[in-house]
Amino acid sequence: MFDVLVYLYETYYRPDACPDSEALVKKLSAVGFEEEEISKALGWLTDLAETNNEFSSRHPQQTAFSFGFRIYVDRELDVLGTAAVGFIQFLESAKVLNPLQREIVIERALAASESQISLDKLKVIVLMVLWSQGKEPDGLMFDELFLDDDDAEPRLLH
């Protein structure tokens, strides 16, 4: 599923640039993706669109800044893991994600139906949430989202 999502992100600049569902399925099949993966990815994206609409209509006054503190329940911690929670907090403190987007990222991570989401998959989820809202992270954040942990150089704290 995540390979299909990355392909869509890299191929289409905006969600509305994607062809209709039937044509998209044909294109993805022609590229070589399995039918089950295509179905999962498109279902996940459909649910993402619904989640975006639901959250924005429920919380229209939500601003980019929040002074609240997010407490994760056990199920969220189990699926996300410490590294992913830390990364989400980093993105929020860097103002890449606002609290509403953070909640959408968490909801979509839980919807991925995996026992634990790797940090690489969480980065794809973050990109897809931003992409679905027509937002793109700046260049430095984009590099951070695509930084491969195996190739990463140690960060200096000064």
Within a domain: residue 98?
yes
Our count of domains for the chain comes to: 1
* Separation CA 96–CA 75 (nearest Å): 24
* Separation CA 111–CA 89 (nearest Å): 20
Q: Mean pLDDT for each 10-residue chunk of the chain (158 residues)?
A: 88 80 90 92 91 76 63 94 93 88 94 90 92 75 57 43
Within a domain: residue 37?
no
The answer to whether 130 and 136 are in contact (CB under 8 A) is yes
* Separation CA 78–CA 68 (nearest Å): 22
Q: What is the reported pTM? A: 0.80
Within a domain: residue 140?
yes
Within a domain: residue 27?
no
* Separation CA 25–CA 147 (nearest Å): 29
The SS3 call for residue 134 is coil
Within a domain: residue 4?
no
The answer to whether 87 and 118 are in contact (CB under 8 A) is no
Within a domain: residue 18?
no
pLDDT 10s digits, 124-137: 999 999 988 888 76
pLDDT 10s digits, 27-55: 999 999 999 999 999 999 999 989 888 87
* Separation CA 73–CA 143 (nearest Å): 30
Write out the residue range of the structural domain in which residue 88 sits. 42-146
